[in-house]
Structure 1
Amino acid sequence: VNELSPLGVAFAAIMSNDTETYPADSFEHMQRWSQELRFPFPYLLDDSQQVARAYGAVCTPDFFGYNAELKLQYRGRLDAGRTSEPPAGSPRELYEAMRTIATTGEGPAEQIPGIGCSIKWRSAS
């Protein structure tokens, strides 16, 4: 994140899980977690789940990268690590994608979808 800031790239994390049915995903708990990991960007709550639906998010994490014209250029994973350190020598996929978008306005041709837990949707009332 810090390496991309000089290129005009900004980040935000948005938590959309149903925290009533899944209290372990409470916003307070996730905010503490983000502070422990020292996220250098805002960690936001999508309590209505409207943001996740509008973006078409399906899992956590699900990364979206936009260019200066706010056109989607990247939808993929952070890297090959999934829940642990990525294998040695593997690319920093999100970083490389955002650097390319910042400098060219276009995302990479190859994009590997994100993998994670599905979003915990609130049941329809």
Structure 2
Amino acid sequence: MADHDAIEQALSRYHALKDAAADTHAITVRLMDEVRDLRQQVQRLVRQLDEAKRARRRDRAMERRLESEITSARNELKRKEARRDAKAEEQQELLRLVERCQEFLTSGGASIKEIEAGIALPNGRF
């Protein structure tokens, strides 16, 4: 009978160990799936971080490029404004000269159109 009890105990122990092994296997498989999922999540996050770093470098490069273009455009604007102002002064001077010439030409009583048409001035200047 002792052998029978020992066999029963061994059989009971066998089934308990077999159940524990099955439970452990199920837990191991579940943990392997979780590890795989977490590994994929880590890889995805690392890729996103790398992309963010590249984007930040691109953004900084774009920012530097835009700052350079803005500086160039501002310098060009200053040059063009200075040239415009110089031409405006030149134009004003030319207009004053035109007025003086017109006054000189019309001082004899003829109009510019008459002078351009070749009509002699009364004081004989033409």
TM-score by length of 1: 0.14
Structure with the greater alpha carbon radius of gyration: 2
> Which structure has the higher relative contact order (CA within 8 Å, separation 6+)?
1
More strand by share: 1
Name the structure where helix makes up a greater proportion of residues: 2
Question: What is the TM-score when the length of structure 2 is the normalising length?
Answer: 0.14
